[in-house]
Amino acid sequence: MPASLLKNQPAAAAPAILIIGPYAAKWFSDRQPEQEDEPISWIVVPEAEALPEIVKRMRKKKHRLYAFFPFFPDGEETDAQALAKIAAWRLYEQEALPCVLGLYARLSHESQAGQAKWSGKFDLRKVGETTLARELAKLLAVSEPLSCHSIYRYAMTDALRLWLESSGIAKALQALFSGSSLRLSAVLLADNGNGFTRHGAWAQWLQQKFGLCPGLSPGVMLPSLPDVIDPGVPYQPDRQRSGFSWRWLPVCAALLLAMLLIGSTWFEAKNIAAATRTLADFRQTEETQLQKKRAVYQRLRDQKQQLLYCRDAWFSRLWRFSRCGEMAARVSDALQNYNPSPVFMASGSVALFARGSATLGPDSSKNLAWLLPLMQNNAQTTFAIVGHSDNTGSPEANYQLSIRRAKAVRDWLVSHANVPPDKLVIKGMGDSLPVASNQTGEGRERNRRVEIIPLADATNKTGEP
């Protein structure tokens, strides 16, 4: 046993376990104050600031001190709220204190008269420092007698691990134990078969990802504490219980697979239906509705990621079929092929410039005036002003002329629409992109044009597969 963890803890002293963390005061307030005749004292620490004083008082009484940090995946509505609660407990900076993390969640429907089914026990002899990732892997490696509940519990424990990692909560918990005086010594898992009275961050994630949701309890039931193994008592490892009839294994496995198939099918159908609606909305939104078009574009990108997750999820690989991949390909094609059309094109009857000139004509203000509301209502949008010319003259002369024409339109918009210059990008194309034949006067007039095109956000284009 490392001396740094048991400093000032005589072998004969009674152990005391401090219940700490953001859920200690709320869910464990029923614990009695310290009792002299109790072999093990459980003491609730109401807030992080009170921990140093309680530790000091218990040290004076020669107690051997340990910490228990209960965590409820459904304790908060959102991941961000849970992360904030964890961060608040990094204030304790004194002597190293061995700490056991307890995860409370409903993982099966196995109820034990209001008591949780624990994976592991609070062994006071295990004070060596470990990591959360290592302990979670141990929980998934623990074997127990096969039953419908154990199969379901294994699948849900793996899902809990995925949520802890994807939400950043596993990283935050590990930082708590690595960056304070708390030293993680073990992780215990409480399968609360009675459930909780409401769903929180983890249940919402489960429903979104797998279409599953833990059951709820009709009333508030205070969580139980794990069994404790005192170093003064010879350590007896758990023995596997017998009694499971192997003939029920196919039934249990079929039940679990059916449940997962129903959940994954619902999850897939939900994602495909949402992407289908958004794709139709995207195609129907006019290019001049810049803000709406951009919002729908971003929503479609987000839904594409959900479809890719659905396609690559373990349940899709298990069934070996998924319509999410096909829908993701359709969405990807729509995103790749999206090029914003010009919101303005001046050529022909609405020509802004005389032949060979970059000076706006007398009727230009009337032709450009309708752009003012569009520019003012989309102040966050960047526009490209693209100048073109016919093929009269040298390519270099035509290129320079197209740039001057684009600058003339930009300067007019800056002065009349109060548009910041950095929101207007100048580009000259010369005679390289004709829209009509240069063999006729009418065609050349159409090619002498200026286009104004809204640009998508850089984030919308970067990394788009």
pLDDT in tens, 100-127: 999 999 888 775 555 788 888 899 988 8
Query: Which of these ranges, 12-16, 19-23, 322-326, has the smallest mean pLDDT?
Result: 12-16
Over the stretch 357-388, which tens digit does the pLDDT of each residue have?
Answer: 888 877 778 878 878 887 777 777 788 888 88
Long-range contact pairs involving 91-95 (C-beta distance under 8 Å, separation at least 24): 91/48, 91/49, 91/51, 91/180, 92/48, 92/51, 92/52, 92/180, 92/181, 92/182, 93/180, 93/181, 94/52, 94/55, 94/181, 95/4, 95/7, 95/8, 95/55, 95/181
Average pLDDT over residues 23-47: 77
d(CA 310, CA 302): 13
Using alpha carbons, list the distances in angstroms from residue 70 to 33, 79, 114, 225: 18, 16, 18, 9
407 token code pair? 């600058």
Give residue 313's pLDDT band: very low, low, confident or very high (50, 70, 90): low
d(CA 106, CA 121): 18
Q: Side chain identity at 188, as an amino acid letter?
A: L
Percentages helix, strand, coil for the chain (3-state, rounded to 5) are: 45, 15, 40
Q: What does the pLDDT read at residue 354?
A: 75
d(CA 114, CA 223): 9
Give residue 4's pLDDT band: very low, low, confident or very high (50, 70, 90): very low
pLDDT(447) > 90? no
Q: What does the pLDDT read at residue 6?
A: 44
Give residue 255's pLDDT band: very low, low, confident or very high (50, 70, 90): low
Q: What does the pLDDT read at residue 230?
A: 74
d(CA 407, CA 455): 17
Tell me if 106 sits within 8 A of 214, measured CB to CB.
Answer: yes
Q: What does the pLDDT read at residue 257?
A: 60
**Cα distance between the two ends of the chain:** 54
Helix, coil or strand: residue 15: strand
pLDDT(349) > 60? no
pLDDT(286) > 50? yes
Whose tokens are 């303005």? That residue is 344
Q: What does the pLDDT read at residue 234?
A: 44
- Bridge pairing between strands 450-455 and 344-346: antiparallel
Q: Side chain identity at 258, as an amino acid letter?
A: A
- Three-state SS letters, 74-141: CCCCCHHHHHHHHHCCCCCCCCCEEEEEEEEECCCCCCECCECEEECCEECCCCCCCCHHHHHHHHHH
pTM score over 0.95: no
Q: What does the pLDDT read at residue 346?
A: 59
Helix, coil or strand: residue 65: strand
User: For residues 14-29, b (16+ Cβ closer than 10 Å) or e, as one string?
Assistant: bbbbbbbbbbbeebbe
Q: What does the pLDDT read at residue 379?
A: 75
User: Which among 330, 335, 318 has a CA at the least distance from the CA of 265?
Assistant: 318
Pairwise pLDDT comparison (185 vs 266), residue with the higher score = 185
d(CA 182, CA 130): 11
Q: What does the pLDDT read at residue 104?
A: 93
Pairwise pLDDT comparison (174 vs 307), residue with the higher score = 174
pLDDT(464) > 80? no
Backbone φ and ψ of 251, nearest 5°: -65, -45
Q: What does the pLDDT read at residue 243?
A: 45
d(CA 306, CA 267): 10
pLDDT(83) > 70? yes
Over the stretch 382-409, which tens digit does the pLDDT of each residue have?
Answer: 888 888 888 888 889 989 999 998 898 8
442 token code pair? 């009418």
User: Which among 202, 334, 208, 333 has a CA at the least distance from the CA of 270?
Assistant: 208
User: Which among 92, 379, 192, 136 has a CA at the least distance from the CA of 203?
Assistant: 192
Backbone φ and ψ of 258, nearest 5°: -65, -40
Long-range contact pairs involving 248-255 (C-beta distance under 8 Å, separation at least 24): 248/147, 248/148, 249/146, 251/148, 252/146, 252/147, 252/148, 252/151, 253/151, 255/148
Cβ-in-10-Å burial (0-12, 13-18, 19+) of 7 comes to exposed
Q: What does the pLDDT read at residue 235?
A: 41
Highest mean pLDDT range out of 250-254, 270-274, 372-376, 455-459? 270-274
d(CA 364, CA 160): 64
Tell me if 199 sits within 8 A of 238, measured CB to CB.
Answer: no
Average pLDDT over residues 276-283: 86
pLDDT(63) > 60? yes
Query: Which of these ranges, 178-192, 212-226, 425-439, has the smallest mean pLDDT?
Result: 212-226
Q: What does the pLDDT read at residue 233?
A: 47
What percent of the chain has a predicted confidence (pLDDT) above 70?
74
Pairwise pLDDT comparison (63 vs 248), residue with the higher score = 63
